[in-house]
Amino acid sequence: MQKTALIPYADLPRAHHNRHVLTSTIDVFGAAHWLLAERAPQPGGGVLPFDALVVSVHPGGNVELTELSAVRARWPHLDRLPDGGFVVAASRARRYEDAKQVQVFDVLGCETSSFSVGDAIEHLLVDEAGHIWVGHFDENPGVAVHGERVAFYGGYREERDRLAHGELTETYVEPTNVDLLTLPNGPAPGRRRAVSRGSRIYVQAEPFTAWGVFDLSS
């Protein structure tokens, strides 16, 4: 199987490597964001509200810091809103916690609203208009599209690093070839996060301090 290597995209500044990475993402404008806490969540029991730091690295290299107050999510998802605020969602939600599952923060890091989108969140994305898109467990991560070309990333077990290419027709996708997507230095990502935005698939492998990108348009 042919191998396709990710291209290095964004790195968490080393000054923040002493904090625990709760989650990370790439927003619709191409900026990378890391949600950091002083320590890793402890197993079992509830979680008390805590302050967290968002470190944002913009495509030009500028770094921005935003303190979020009273974050409630133990295993969070994160994305940035077009107005500069952030949305943080808890992956799991008990019925009595529904109204507090998703928190919306303003540009100063203060919570402005909260609501529920249902238990078992796997993906959270915000589009250019500020609409929030959610995918739940067992739903595949989006897909890269460029013109009539398409690429699907991921799969089960031994196919988790598969990159399947195809051509769009009026009624179906015509498979063309299958690659293995690897890290920039060669190995398969292993445990990782993936975010799809248009023609790009961003991948972040453990310890989740660096993002690589595959661009179907290049």
pLDDT 10s digits, 179-212: 999 999 889 998 999 999 999 999 999 999 999 9
- Check residue 99 and give its pLDDT: 74
Q: Point out the residues of the chain with pLDDT beneath 50.
A: none
Residues in CB range of 84: below 8 A, 6 or more apart: 106, 107
- Check residue 94 and give its pLDDT: 73
Residues in CB range of 204: below 8 A, 6 or more apart: 24, 192, 193, 194, 210, 211, 212
Asked if residue 130 lies in contact with residue 29, where contact means CB atoms within 8 angstroms, the answer is: no
Asked if residue 198 lies in contact with residue 181, where contact means CB atoms within 8 angstroms, the answer is: no
pLDDT digits (tens, 9 = 90+) for 94-121: 765 567 899 999 999 999 999 999 889 9
Residue 147 sits at φ, ψ, to 5 deg, of 60, -125
Give the β-pairing of 50-57 and 63-71.
Answer: antiparallel
Number of H helices, E strands in the chain: 0, 19
- Check residue 194 and give its pLDDT: 95
Q: Global pTM?
A: 0.93
Q: Is 153 helix (H, G, I), strand (E, B) or coil?
A: strand
